Amino acid sequence: MTKNGKFITFEGIDGSGKSTQARLIQKFLRDNGYPSILTREPGGSTGAEDIRRLLVEGEPGRWSPETEILLFTAARRDHLERTILPALEAGKTVICDRFADSTRVYQGAARADLRDSVDQLHKLMIGREPDLTFIFDMDPEKSLTRGLARKSGEDRFEEFGLSFQQKLRAGFLALAQEFPERCLLVDGQDTPAGVHAQIRPPLMALLE
């Protein structure tokens, strides 16, 4: 019987460098013979990628925080069913760029005070936590410049501005304290090689 894989998430404010690091760590795992997949939220399955476009494009006020919770959770459920759980069951390490912690912080704390609704819906429809979560921390002034400079057309959340990013930062720091058994803070202002070196040892300790 194959041993179930581990579920690793990367979280943090917009432009904190987590997506680059998620790619680097998956390359490292691949090069070292660890079966793994790299996936992301919102998205990661065909249906969830369709929902992603509704969420990340358009005017900041396009959706209310309540509607956003429903859309992110719908996307997550599809992603979990079709991508994450099958990979874990096949013994693969799943590296996921954002997961439920983003909904807890973005919709549950920063956009609105809706953490109870987020938690109830999570319990009902998702019910799965990562084995390890890296929370990228950095100065929002720096990360926002990085994020908007990308001009990806997917900057609906960056458009909420600096005070929103500051709320997000506080929200992620509070989350790291709430779930100390699985969350590790990463200094996102370090060089890319330095951040990679922060992440590798705890990840390998979990996988070995």
Binding site for ligand TYD (CB under 6 A): 14-15, 19, 41-42, 56, 72, 97-98, 102-103, 106-107, 147, 154, 157
Considering the complex, what minimum distance in angstroms separates the CB of residue 1 from ligand TYD? Answer: 32
Considering the complex, what minimum distance in angstroms separates the CB of residue 188 from ligand TYD? Answer: 11
Tracing tokens 């998205």 back to the chain, one arrives at 43
Q: Give the count of alpha carbons within 13 A of 39, CB side only.
A: 29
Query: Whose Cβ is closer to ligand TYD: residue 34's or residue 104's?
Result: 104
Nearer to ligand TYD, 5 or 42 (CB): 42
CB of 189 to ligand TYD, least distance (A): 16
Return the axis-axis angle of helices 115-125 and 65-79, rounded to nearest 10°: 20
Number of H helices, E strands in the chain: 9, 5
- The answer to whether the CB of 100 falls within 8 A of the CB of 126 is yes
Structure tokens belonging to residue 148: 């908007």
- The SS3 assignment for 121 reads helix
User: Shortest distance, CB of residue 131 to ligand TYD, whole angstroms?
Assistant: 18
The one-letter amino acid at 16:
S
Other C-beta atoms closer than 10 Å to the C-beta of 1 total: 4
C-alpha 155/C-alpha 58 separation (Å) is 8
Least distance from ligand TYD to the Cβ atom of residue 73, Å: 8
Residue nearer to ligand TYD on the CB measure, 34 or 102: 102
